[in-house]
Every structure is written in structure tokens, then in C-alpha cells.
Structure 1
Amino acid sequence: MFIMAAFLNSPGRLTPLKDTQGNIIPGSVSEKVWIDINGIKQGMFIRGQDIQNPVLLYLHGGPGTPLFQFISYLEKEERLERYFTVCYWDQRGAGMTYDKSTDPTTMTVDQLVEDTREVTEYLKSRFGQNKIYLLGHSWGSYLGVKTIEKYPENYLAYIGIGQVSNQKESERLAYQYILSRAKQMNDKDVIEKLEIYDPYADDFPQLDYLVKGRTAILNKYGIGHLHQGVTSWDILKSLFVFKGYTVTEKINWFLGADFSMIHLFPGLLEDDLFLSSVKFEVPFYITQGAHDYMVSQVLAEKYAEACEAPKKEFILFEDSAHSPNMEEPEKFIEVMRRIALENPLEE
């Protein structure tokens, strides 16, 4: 009953950022914004304790699963928004931006790169900065790589979390690991779910495997979204109690997740970034959890080694899986502050 009541209590707006005494922080921003981007009304949340801080555009994963509500749900007192003005954008076809009238033929990485550029231009103009930082999580790291490759002039630095490189191979490595682990633990339920799939079949990983099998198993073993273990229910609960979405937007979150996976994930699987995207004109950082099997930590490190950039660094988070920004937030914020100091906004 509590969860249902929270779901229905959905005003669809953010509360102001407040200090420890409960006072609204002067010069802060905490709002929900809609802008027209390449023919579609798209939504985003913008938060920061000081609008004079550098701007960071956060590209969510999935494809199609914005997790600002989960970040907020796990949030501690020390937060990224203390040092950056952060834009959490719900991409075309996802979250509050999802619309059933969206043309499926526009659901391509090329179109989303153009959308990312438009969001970037909006943020640059609004906050008076000629360049911003770009952060991509999971699917967002794939989109981020493609964006900095085409529009390097817009970005001070790129930061990947759970960096995609060759996702088809990553899925095979994850399958082999969880099957081996399930056998060691005599986890018959997991073994049964996995053995109906062939990781070397041309159509692997199938959408059915990803949605009904892989993610839940990775989370169960602490090698999915979070290392300490998180269930799908935890993510759903964070959505249900989140007040930034309306009820309709919460329903659209689910519809957008399916819509985006169907239309965007196949293209991701076919692209090997080791072959297509290794030379960059902006500083390039990868932050990766040591326990990440959602996106292979081993492949991400090899990809970092293969890339060429003015600066590059691979940063391992020993106590994290796929989301070091949520699992080790203090360390992650320290890394982000250092990156900003190394690549400052020009006056």
C-alpha cells in the first residue's frame, strides 16, 4: 500500500537543493526542463549547488533506462552537484521523453548523437560556458564515445562509467562466468535458465535473455548494477517513490525501456569500438568497477589501452560493479574533481 501511495504521489517536479539546516541554497538550481530537440520534446533534470560551477551532461544507460531516480534514492550528503551543474537528460525514446508517436526509424545512434549535440548547445548557452564535461554510463558511454568523436570541440573531457567497447564479446564473457559460478554453487535455477542459450549463436544475446535472465542473475551475484547486490525491485522502488516524474511519466519509463532496447541495442551489439572508435581529440577517462560483468571490466581496460587521446586514464573501483558513481560516490567525486582540475574551463 505504501509503495502504491508513493507511486500515485507523483507531482512531477524536483524539490530545491537545501543545506543541512534545511535552507534553499542560494544560486542553486534544481528543476525539470523540457526543450524541443530535433523535432521531439525532450525532458531533463538539472541540478547544481552553484550555477557558476562547470556543467556536466550525464548520458544514461540502457539503452532506454534513465536512472536519475535511483541515483537520488541512493544519494548521500556528498554529491556531484556540489561541484558541477549536472544535467540528467532522458534521451529520445526513454523515460519522460518517451512518446508512442516517436518514429522508430529515428531511433539510431547517429540521431542520438545529434540530439546530444543539441542538449550540449542548450547547456552551453544557458550557463554561459563554451565547453562542458560529458559523462556516459553503460549505453551512455557508447553514445558518449560517438559524440566526442564527431563533436570534440564541445567538450572539456569525456568520462565513461561501465565503458562499452565490444558488447557482443562482453555478453559472451559474462555468460561464461555466471554459468561457471552457478555450477560451482549448484545454483540449479540459474543453470536451467542459462543452458537454453548458446553464447556463440549468431543472434546471441537475444532480448529475451537480456531482460528475463542475464540482468537479474548478474544482480543476484553482485556483478550487475551494484556489487553489494541489488534486485530489480530496488530499482523499481526508487522509481515508484520518485517525485520528479508524474504517474504518466513513470508508466512511460517502462514503455521507453522496451522501445529503446528493441531499436537501439542491436546496433550497439554490431559495433566493435576497437575497430570503429579509438582516436579522440578530448581527454578520455574510463571509470570501471572491478566486479562489473554487465559491461566487461577486462575489455574496458583493453579498450582504454587501445585508445589515443591528448590524455587518457583507466580508473578501477575495487568495491564496485557497474555503477561506481553510486557504489563508491566519495571516491568517484574525488576523481571527477581531479578531472575538472586537470581540464579546466577556460575563462
Structure 2
Amino acid sequence: MDGARREASVCNVMSKNHLRFGSFFLVVRCAFSRLLRGKAEKVVEKPRTIAVANFTTNLGDMIMATPVFRAIKAAHPGCRVIVIGGGKNGELLAGNKDIDHYISASDFSSALAEVRKEKPDMGVALNPSPQEVALLYLGGCRGIATFIHEGFGSRAFRALSSLVLNVSWKTGEYVPLQNLKLLAALGIRSSDTVKYLAVDPATVSKVKAHIGAKGPLLVVSPDAGQDYREWPLERFAAVAAHARTAYGASIAFAGGPNAKEMCRRFTELCGAPVFDGTGQTIEELKALVSFATAVVSNDSGIAYIAEAFGIPAVIVAGVADPKEHPQGSSRAEVIVPQRMEYVLHAKVSDVSMVDSEEARSQMASIPVGAVLDAVDKVFKKRG
């Protein structure tokens, strides 16, 4: 598999077609720019603006970047922080006081024009993406840091990474902590990996009224986007039924609009009313999670929304390396197979070459009892 496809599949960043610029053209353009300005390796002691490029469309990947925004503000309170991202992550980050401006990465030329207006002093590119590095370089950043690893990066990315500061990516280490290492290359040091999201209080009140739950609320999210990363639906239903019977919990199903049929089947398996959250906006999803008693999910974005709001989460992590993601959270109970023979690593593993049958088998090997024990622990601690 060529590097450009690896970037799209592993990092889930915007592809070159989405950004409307070919990687080769970006390399050539940056090469000409280098003749005039040299490399972007300067550490600015008192930066006025720092740009963070994270073109991911995944909610969880963006949430794991929020400690970066906070660390910048902590080190330089007067510094503007601009974030360039994809998908619905602008709505996800709405209200975050650590961010001064969000720029959509859906069109490269428009994003570049906005970045140039901001005149950033430095920037970090969180993914092995030539588009991220090129945007920051052409946007005028004098110092840029990005990850390097022999397991990822197209020829275009490797060419562009030679123009900036490089930080080694460590497979098997906690992703939010590694993200902070990029800042260390720019003179900003932090080990605070607490995630942060904001939510509109009016939206919280509206969602609460819609659900009408007066006791504990369990939010269940069986949808992970790829079926090989999903624990069997009937087991999620068994967990929900247990929470309802043992603790009087109301149940809410969280998922995207494509999970309508899954929600219907889940409700049938539960044999009791379930709040259907598949039609919610991102803001409404944040509101739902923010007042939940607990969340039970696969290793997906909702688990990190829960962490950002301090809500306990039980995460069924069957194939993703738990050391890179959820186990770094003190609020998460992470359930993994007894034997993890098949592991996907962030940024390095080629997800287009996944052995789906083996991955599904590994997910299915996680027993209901292990998840029930974790849910009991959460509810009993609540009292």
C-alpha cells in the first residue's frame, strides 16, 4: 500500500482530493518557499499565535488533542490558539475557552488563506499528513513540529517533514501524552492529559427534559463505525438490562444517523423503552453524556466525550491498543480480551489491511460478565 493511502486510512485525515491539492504540488510549492525563508525550526519565546493542525474527522482523536490547546494557553496566556480540523469537530470544540479560532480543513486554499490572516508564529501537525505540514509551512509558521516514524508517512510527507522539527512517535504509548511532546519541541512542556469540552447549558436542559429520566442514566454506544471494532449488540443489551433491573437506570442509545437500525434492534433486545439518540447533533450528544451516570461503549469517540466531562466510562477495547488510548484515563474501566493477539496501533497500523474475522473473534471473546462487573463498580461507587 502506498503512503498516501496509509495516511488516509490510519490517520483519517482529509485526503488530497478533499483538500483539492495534490501532495506533489504541495511539496513543490514548499520547496520554492524554502528558497526564500528556509526551514521552519525556530522556537519563538513569546508567540502571539500558535496553530494546531489536526485534520481528523474522528471525535475521539480531536478530544485527545484538547490537552495541547490547554498547555499552550497555560504556557502563554496571551497567545491565540487556532485549530485547523475536519468533519464536525468545529461543533465538538464549540465553547472551548482554550481555542480562539477554528478553521475548517475541508478546502485547502480557503484554510490556508485563513491561517495566513492569523500570522501564526509556530504550529504543530498532529498527523503524518503532507497537507497538515504544508498548511502550517505555507501559512508562515516559523517553527513547526510533527511526528516521524518508520511505519508511516508517504514520500511527500517525508519530504515536507525535513523542513520542520521532528518528534519520534512511540508505538504503544498514551496518545495524548505523545501529542504534548510535540509542544516540548517548541519549548512548551506539560504532562497534563486532562481532556476538556464545553457544552451549552440550554442544550443540557433541553436534552434532560426530552429524556425525562429522574434516576441514574446509562448511555450505551454500540456503534463504532467498523463492525470488527464492535462488541456484539446483544451483549450491550444484556448490560443495559442489568443496569435497569439492578439500579433502576434509564437507558439511552447514542450513535450516528446511520445507526438507526442498530438502535431499533438494541431496543428490541432490551425489551424496554430506550431513548434514541441517533438523531442528535454533536452539541446534543455532549449534553447527553455530560449528565449521564455512566457510559458503556466500544473504543470510540463517546468514551472520550465522557472523559472530558468527568463521566465514568466502561470501554470494550477489543483490538485497539489500550495503552495508547483509554487506559490513560483515571475515569475509564477498560475491558480487553485475556489474549490480545491482534492489536491495532494509532497512526502506524494499516487499517485497510485488517483481518476482520480475527478482529471480530477477539472482540467476541470478551465475556458479558467482565463488563457487568465494571458497570457494577461504577454504580456502587455512585451509591
- Output the TM-score relative to the length of structure 1: 0.32
TM-score (norm 2): 0.29
Kindly name which structure, 1 or 2, has the bigger radius of gyration based on alpha carbons: 2
Whose relative contact order is higher, 1 or 2, with alpha carbons under 8 Å and at least 6 apart?
A: 1
